[in-house]
Amino acid sequence: MGRKKIGIMVSGRGSNMQAIIDASRDPDYPARVELVISNREDAPALEKARKENIKAKFIPGIGRDWERKTLDLINEKEIELLCLAGFMRVLSPEFLAQAPPVMNIHPSLLPAFPGLNAQKQALEHGVKVSGCTVHFVDSGVDSGPIILQDAVEVKQDDDEEKLAGRILKTEHKLYPRAVELWARDQLEIEGRKVKIKEEKGRG
């Protein structure tokens, strides 16, 4: 069976994008990154993707026009799954209705601390445990069905940078795993819940 074609949407550094690319070096990994799209021309992720010989495109503009151009490119490259990885824009319901399934990674245990600066929100709230979440994207902010989560202890002397760094390491394991589960057809969405099915024909 061919590997699933995935597109990654970024706005910045791209370490989660890199983690997915690194995972896909394994010939048994069931997906490969075909396209990287950024809404920011200066996103370091674009350069990282180009070094890996992956088509990486900055799409200028905003709103419907931006989404139309982005969808055209996604269709042209026959992308089957879109992964948001540090992509700092909310996609419209019209975009989501026309796009392939979309996943996102968020640096908190959703539904706690959606939106911007999740690690800062966690520290300010005084939680003892935070973490990260991979979820399907719906038209809300960080609100779609949860695929995987992993917990990270919040330490007494943490500042935002230290906590974000430890969460990020966990993100780099969680996101490639979620993509793998999807690509092996092991995810079943029932309303808000995502069930993980046994894999057929392996093990």
Determine the Cα–Cα distance for residues 12 and 18; give it in Å rounded to an integer.
12
Determine the Cα–Cα distance for residues 197 and 26; give it in Å rounded to an integer.
22
**Residue 38 is a binding residue for ligand GAR (CB under 6 A):** no
Main-chain dihedrals φ then ψ at residue 35, nearest 5 degrees = -155, 140
Name the residue number minimizing CB distance to ligand GAR. Answer: 86
Q: Is 125 a catalytic residue?
A: no
Contacting residue, 7, 86, 131, 144, with ligand GAR by CB under 6 A = 86
Contacting residue, 36, 147, 163, 168, with ligand GAR by CB under 6 A = 168
Contacting residue, 7, 14, 30, 176, with ligand GAR by CB under 6 A = 14
Determine the Cα–Cα distance for residues 85 and 137; give it in Å rounded to an integer.
12
β-bridge pairing 4-10 and 187-190: unpaired
Question: Annotated catalytic residue: which of 106, 125, 135, 172?
Answer: 106
Determine the Cα–Cα distance for residues 148 and 182; give it in Å rounded to an integer.
11
Q: Which residues are at the interface with ligand GAR (CB under 6 A)?
A: 12-16, 85-86, 105-107, 118, 142, 168, 171
The catalytic residue positions are 106
